[in-house]
Amino acid sequence: MDRIDEKGFRANVGIILMDETNQVLIAGRRGRSGWQFPQGGVKKTESAEQAMYRELHEEVGLAPEDVAVAGVTREWIRYRLPKKYLRPSGPKCIGQKQRWFLLSLVSAPDKLRFDATNDPEFDRCRWVQYWKPVEEVIYFKRQVYIRALTELARTAFEGSAPPPKPASWPPSWQES
């Protein structure tokens, strides 16, 4: 069972996987349109890091030795779910609080696979420029993606300036 805090936020981890060309991996949910970073809930018996490694294996088939942890957000980043996405029964969950991990892929990209579990979440993936996932993710997660990518950009591009946020973004996306 996942952890839901006293305010109704479910503990979750997000994974920003970066390759040697500084592109990041986004994946498409099985049978659905749209793209997102791998992510998933933190079970009651897990730390955020343990959940990240479990989700990494379940969602994209990678093991701890396939990646190096480059960074992690300092705090949990919260977002509320729109009413139409709230579950009508079960523990009250109004949104998620996420700890984001920046991982460097140290193994070959062909190790990525979606059949590590009997019920895979994703069926496709692609490598994109650093800021592109903000444009691809469902609207209510955009600010979380901006905050996580912004916080981890210095680490991701250590020794060089991160790419600028696209000038075509609306002003609200430029903030953070």
Beta pairing, strands 77-80 & 95-105: antiparallel
Confidence (pLDDT) at 13: 98
Q: How much is the average pLDDT of 22-32?
A: 95
**What are the structural domain ranges in the chain?**
9-174
Task: Tell me the pTM.
Answer: 0.94
Q: How much is the average pLDDT of 134-142?
A: 95
Q: In this predicted model, what pLDDT tens digit does every residue of 154-170 receive, in sequence order?
A: 999 988 889 999 988 99
Residue 2 has pLDDT above 80, yes or no: no
CATH homologous superfamily, domain 9-174: Nucleoside Triphosphate Pyrophosphohydrolase (3.90.79.10)
Confidence (pLDDT) at 1: 63
Confidence of residue 176 (pLDDT cuts 50, 70, 90): low
Confidence (pLDDT) at 3: 87
CA distance 3 to 22: 33
Q: In this predicted model, what pLDDT tens digit does every residue of 100-126 receive, in sequence order?
A: 999 999 999 889 999 888 888 999 999
